[in-house]
Amino acid sequence: MKVCKFGGTSVASAEQVKKVAAIVQSDEQRRFVVVSAPGKRDSADIKVTDLLIDLANAVIAGEEIEDKIQAVVKRYEENAQGLGLDREISDIIEADLRTRCEQAIKVSPEYVLDSLKASGEDNNAKMIAMYFNSIGIEARYVSPKEGLVVNEPPARTMALSEAYNNLSSLKDSNEIIVFPGFFGYTAQGVLRTFDRGGSDITGAILAAAVGADIYENFTDVDCVFSANPKVVNNPAEITEITYREMRELSYAGFSVFHDEALMPVFKLKIPVNIKNTNNPASPGTRIVSESTINRRPVTGISADAGFSILYVSKYLMNREIGFGRKLLQILEEENISYEHTPSGLDDISVIIRSHQVDPEKEQRIVKRVYDELHADDVHFRHGFSMIVVVGEGMNNNTGLAARAATAISRTGANIEMINQGSSEVSLSFGVKQQFEDAILKALYEEFFQPVNV
Amino acid sequence: MKVCKFGGTSVASAEQVKKVAAIVQSDEQRRFVVVSAPGKRDSADIKVTDLLIDLANAVIAGEEIEDKIQAVVKRYEENAQGLGLDREISDIIEADLRTRCEQAIKVSPEYVLDSLKASGEDNNAKMIAMYFNSIGIEARYVSPKEGLVVNEPPARTMALSEAYNNLSSLKDSNEIIVFPGFFGYTAQGVLRTFDRGGSDITGAILAAAVGADIYENFTDVDCVFSANPKVVNNPAEITEITYREMRELSYAGFSVFHDEALMPVFKLKIPVNIKNTNNPASPGTRIVSESTINRRPVTGISADAGFSILYVSKYLMNREIGFGRKLLQILEEENISYEHTPSGLDDISVIIRSHQVDPEKEQRIVKRVYDELHADDVHFRHGFSMIVVVGEGMNNNTGLAARAATAISRTGANIEMINQGSSEVSLSFGVKQQFEDAILKALYEEFFQPVNV
């Protein structure tokens, strides 16, 4: 049994929705279809979600909304016409939008935004279910109201454990289930959107609930690449990647999934298959819990700019039990998360994302470290990039770190920081930002383009 | 002005004390002499300190002590005779020992041990001052009672700030000051020994108090070597090393100083010169605060066995602000200090000295990390060595990490952990213990024996 999630561009137009139908029809294992709101049909287009946000803001501001409602309805209508559906669905959608505008404003401005944004997925699911039936695919729209129970605010929206129990009965359905992504309902019936991971997380929840054999995630690319294609020419396609590798690569250039989205399937070790709606024959990239095929030692290389280093030194630091812990506590109290903490005997560096600090905060932290930890030297340095070489096959691969460091040194860059833990799934290098692209290219050449002698 | 400290073997016999006198006479800047108790004259000999511990134990046990007192007195007497001194000094020492035995036992058994151990340095200082005067060197024995004020128990013995003020007046003395190492007195006049660093710390305190230009530390080796001579054949001599480098190298094979001993001179940036009493013409090794000469990028390489790795993984670990801090807190509560904490996105390794854990403690820690941090995987691994490559010149030396990693890979060893902070004075590698010697040799070859082409 497969749960298939289709992203915004996969359901942007009638033509795209027909591809979705063909994909579902081509494999009887595909019993669950999770859909996003219609995305952009071309680069000049506006996503339905953005039209809905525009409408919500008008409702909140008490402005005229008629044109904005019509703009949304028109998008659905165009798709409906292209799919050969009659006006009924457009009327349903228009009525739904008007009800949401009227009801939601009585709750709160935030709720207007949530409710209208969620309507993008919700109404699209209704229309796609209707289309499936019109061409002979027995399908049923299911609302998240039928079981996708989420927690109460203000905590970030998450599915409760009963959601999985509730939704599991759907696996016995004779019809294809068409389910809108992106939102659920509290036990009190209040709609809440997933602020991160959106429709991906709905698909993962459903896949986990019904015990899917695979979670197919349809998007508009054939696969995940082993390096950022904007920097490296024609990087190798990744056919299989482990969850761990995927996570370690989740720096820039690899933001295929929001990292929390896969949690439900990760826990049950359900493989994920990233596929292309526009080229479903391509095998895509499989995300698995354990590597099943022989692969290169390195699976991917990611790089990201915008890192800073907090450097702290103190003579006899290593004699002070608790020094590192106290330093991290100060950062925690400043609400700063860190990436790595390489250390010498008398010094420790904390690598953080630069956006977390400003000059005032830096000054405060530096002062606290001097005052509370009696350090000899405390300062921030900025403008670093992190390059991460990732691969399950790196473990026990003698000489791989040497090859990586040698490749970097060929660019003339100095390695400011190296981090390799004993899991050895990743090897991180901190370098000055200006060397980032050159290093990414050099590492790619080293591990993916062995020179023919 | 120079403060000279002479270690146990430098003052073990009359012949050695004559070398000390010659060294002092050869440079009028040498105004302060700090002495240890007489050490071993040959490998079969017993140190005076050990004879004193033997005596102290007899006093504490209420056993017959006459033979043991005579054993100590005899050692001094042999030296006195060799130095052409008359019986007066032996009588002084014998009377001093008897007084200590009688008085100290009234205080506590621990005090018997402290008082008698300290007598080793104290009486040796008296004798050497007497010898200096007998050969025309104007010298004066000064007791630590005259100013070396230390803190009250039970905190570890440390000089109080007034000690530096008190002792500073000694710089105006016309006589050479002969000062016993290893102990001071509380404000109440109670003797306390320095439990770590012994005479080295007394010398450093005195050097700081009088504002010495240099602190000469005489021992029985010409210099500090760039690698353990027991593993590497004829390693290069280090002529200059910074305090930082010295500290980073303070793993096995580099235990020249207890690391706290140099704190007083480190604070005032007074250089330390390690010299050989038996070969004073050799320039020795200078420990400085800032490097003054052009040197190799790598100053030394140390290696030490006996490390363990605590490995912790948890999906989405990097999203949890405070995870690393909480983990370190658990270790802190178990009174465990750590060396490094390399990390990936979903895992963190904590490198610790193995002697800090036992199976029971490990089990408790693993359980706590599972229970309190809800980790996915927690386990200890043992049998690792840390190899540390150290050099101020490593900073901005492109390709050095690559050379080190490549040299290690030539031994066939896998690098389990790499750590390089942004201070870049050191680069640490965690490897399986059995590769330690081979790696030390390989790194030495790489950085100290460039192949002639």
Can you tell me the distance from the alpha carbon of B389 to that of A63, in angstroms, rounded to the nearest whole number? 69
CA atoms within 13 A on the CB side of B16: 24
Q: Is some CB atom of chain A closer than 8 A to the CB atom of B266?
A: yes
* Residue numbers belonging to the annotated binding site of A for substrate: 49, 121
Query: pLDDT digits over B16-59, tens only?
Result: 999 999 999 999 999 999 999 999 999 999 999 999 999 999 99
Note whether B55 and B69 are within 8 A (CB).
yes
Residue B250, both tokens: 């303070």
Q: Is some CB atom of chain A closer than 8 A to the CB atom of B317?
A: no
Residues of A in contact with B416 (CB under 8 A): 422, 424
Q: Which residue of A has its CA nearest to B410?
A: A399
Share of chain A above pLDDT 90, in %: 79
Helix spans in B211-353 (H): 243-248, 263-267, 323-333
Q: What number is the ipTM of this complex?
A: 0.78
DSSP state of A171: G
The residue count of chain A comes to 453
The partner residue sitting opposite B342, judged by closest CB among A263, A399, A419, is A419
Can you tell me the distance from the alpha carbon of B49 to that of A54, in angstroms, rounded to the nearest whole number? 87
B43: nearest Cα among B169, B220, B173 = B220
Residue A288, both tokens: 């698995």
The partner residue sitting opposite B413, judged by closest CB among A338, A398, A419, is A398
pLDDT attached to residue B397: 75
Long-range contact set of residues B84-93: C-beta below 8 Å, sequence gap at least 24 = B84/B134, B85/B127, B85/B130, B85/B131, B85/B134, B89/B126, B89/B127, B89/B130, B92/B123, B92/B126, B93/B123, B93/B126, B93/B127
Q: How far is CA A168 from the centre of its chain?
A: 24
Note whether A160 and A200 are within 8 A (CB).
no
Residue A97 has phi, psi (to 5 degrees) of -60, -45
Helix spans in A14-153 (H): 14-25, 48-61, 66-82, 88-107, 109-134
Whether the pLDDT of residue A131 is over 90: the answer is yes
pLDDT attached to residue B253: 60
pLDDT attached to residue A453: 44
B338: nearest Cα among B353, B317, B359, B326 = B353
B419 vs A338: CB contact, 8 Å cut-off?
Answer: no
Q: Which residue of A has its CA nearest to B258?
A: A316
User: What average pLDDT does the segment A149-174 reach?
Assistant: 95
A238: nearest Cα among A191, A272, A199 = A272
What are the beta bridge partners of residue A3?
A32, A215
A343 vs B341: CB contact, 8 Å cut-off?
Answer: yes
Residues of B in contact with A336 (CB under 8 A): 321
Residue that is written with structure tokens 């590769």 in the block: B435
Can you tell me the distance from the alpha carbon of B366 to that of A81, in angstroms, rounded to the nearest whole number? 62
* Residue numbers belonging to the annotated binding site of B for ATP: 5-8, 219-220
How many cross-chain Cβ pairs, A to B, lie less than 8 Å apart?
Answer: 191
A314: nearest Cα among A306, A304, A322 = A322
Whether the pLDDT of residue A255 is over 70: the answer is no
Confidence of residue A351 (pLDDT cuts 50, 70, 90): very high
Can you tell me the distance from the alpha carbon of A168 to that of A28, in angstroms, rounded to the nearest whole number? 19
B339 vs A332: CB contact, 8 Å cut-off?
Answer: no
Confidence of residue A252 (pLDDT cuts 50, 70, 90): low
A311: nearest Cα among A377, A216, A256 = A377
Residue A66, both tokens: 């008629």
End-to-end CA distance of chain B: 47
Residues of A in contact with B259 (CB under 8 A): 316, 319
Residues of B in contact with A347 (CB under 8 A): 421, 423, 425
The partner residue sitting opposite B259, judged by closest CB among A316, A337, A347, is A316
Mutate to test the interface with B, among A265, A302, A341, A380 (most CBs of B within 10 A): A341
Whether the pLDDT of residue A260 is over 90: the answer is no
- How far CA A406 is from CA of A397, B31, B404, B453, in Å, comes to 16, 52, 10, 21
Residues of A in contact with B401 (CB under 8 A): 405, 409, 415, 418
Residues of A in contact with B318 (CB under 8 A): 337, 339
pLDDT attached to residue B453: 44
Residues whose CB falls within 8 Å of the CB of residue A436, separated by 6 or more in sequence, listed in order? A303, A305, A385, A387
A349 vs B266: CB contact, 8 Å cut-off?
Answer: no
pLDDT attached to residue A262: 86
Residues of A in contact with B336 (CB under 8 A): 321
Name the A residues in 3-62 with CB < 8 Å from any B CB.
Answer: none
Q: Is some CB atom of chain B closer than 8 A to the CB atom of A396?
A: yes
Query: pLDDT digits over A361-418, tens only?
Result: 999 999 999 999 999 999 999 999 999 999 988 876 778 889 999 999 999 998 988 8
- Lay out the sheet containing B426-432: strands in order across: A338-340, A347-353, A300-313, A377-390, A426-432, A417-420, B417-420, B426-432, B377-390, B300-313, B347-353, B338-340
Q: Is some CB atom of chain A closer than 8 A to the CB atom of B392?
A: no
Query: pLDDT digits over A276-335, tens only?
Result: 999 999 999 999 988 877 778 899 999 999 999 999 999 888 878 899 999 999 999 999
pLDDT attached to residue B420: 85
Mutate to test the interface with A, among B201, B287, B302, B325 (most CBs of A within 10 A): B325
Distance from CA of A330 to the nearest CA of B (A): 10
Residue B126, both tokens: 């008296």
The residue count of chain B comes to 453
Residues of B in contact with A313 (CB under 8 A): 423
Can you tell me the distance from the alpha carbon of A445 to that of A441, in angstroms, rounded to the nearest whole number? 6
B402 vs A406: CB contact, 8 Å cut-off?
Answer: yes
Can you tell me the distance from the alpha carbon of B7 to that of B141, in angstroms, rounded to the nearest whole number? 17
User: What average pLDDT does the segment A33-46 reach?
Assistant: 95
* Interstrand relation of B426-432 and B377-390 (parallel, antiparallel or unpaired): antiparallel
Can you tell me the distance from the alpha carbon of B374 to that of B357, in angstroms, rounded to the nearest whole number? 22
Q: Is some CB atom of chain B closer than 8 A to the CB atom of A161?
A: no
Mean pLDDT of chain B: 92
The partner residue sitting opposite B415, judged by closest CB among A244, A340, A401, is A401
The partner residue sitting opposite A422, judged by closest CB among B335, B381, B427, is B381
What are the beta bridge partners of residue B301?
B389
Enumerate residue ranges in chain B where pLDDT < 70: 196, 252-256, 422-423, 450-453
Residues of B in contact with A324 (CB under 8 A): 328, 338, 341
| Secondary structure element (H or E) that encloses residue B420, with its range | strand B417-420
Residue B74, both tokens: 């005899």
The partner residue sitting opposite B414, judged by closest CB among A247, A398, A419, is A398
Q: Give the start-end residues of each E strand in B213-355.
A: 214-219, 224-225, 237-238, 240-242, 272-276, 285-288, 300-313, 338-340, 347-353
Q: Which residue has the higher pLDDT, B397 or A210?
A: A210
Whether the pLDDT of residue A249 is over 80: the answer is yes
- For chain B, domains (ranges, CATH) are 2-220 (3.40.1160.10), 300-448 (3.30.2130.10)
Residue B411, both tokens: 């031994």
